[in-house]
Amino acid sequence: MNKPLRTLAILLCGGLFGAGLAIATMIQPEVVLSFLTFSDFGLLLVLGGATGIALLIYQLGPKVLNKPLVGDSFSKRPEVGVKQTLTGAALFGVGWGLCGVCPGPAIAGLGAGNWPLLIALIAMFAGGYVQGRWFGGSEENS
């Protein structure tokens, strides 16, 4: 697929994702925190719907299509770094639980004018930088 068409597909999918996050109110940390403290289960429907659709697409896509719509071929990702993945997931979960913000909704929230989310995004980028600088490329630690 040519680069301009691929870029357009990425932008459209990103816009759709951001709109979905905004409609689901995930761009409001208060809503996410009320979900995480078991006060409001509305986001459970969003989580279940998104997981179900993704599972369906990942299972059926390679069977129905010869190649991805915006890629060269389907491929499986090797399972490396399981320990690092679990550690990263735990740290991500703690951060998410403390502030109610994860990267996608934070960026979508900025687009909706929720500027305090910029602080969380800066912290996420700083954490990513530290991880890449100190721990990046060390596959033998898996």
- Model pLDDT, residue 48: 92
φ, ψ for residue 139 (rounded to 5)?
Answer: -70, -25
Where residue 61 falls among pLDDT bands split at 50, 70, 90? Answer: confident
Q: Per-residue pLDDT averaged across 24-50, rounded? A: 90
Find the range with the poorest average confidence among 24-33, 62-71, 112-121. 62-71
Q: How confident is the model at residue 75 (pLDDT cuts 50, 70, 90)?
A: confident
pLDDT of 53 over the 90 cut? yes
Predicted TM-score (pTM) of this structure = 0.71
pLDDT of 106-115, one tens digit each?
899 898 888 9
Dihedral, 114, 116, 119, 125 alpha carbons, nearest 10: -10
31, 40 Cβ separation under 8 angstroms: yes
Higher pLDDT, 33 or 69: 33
pLDDT at residue 12 tops 90: yes
C-alpha distances in Å from residue 79, one per residue of 84, 85, 119: 11, 10, 33
| The predicted structure's pLDDT at residue 141 | 45
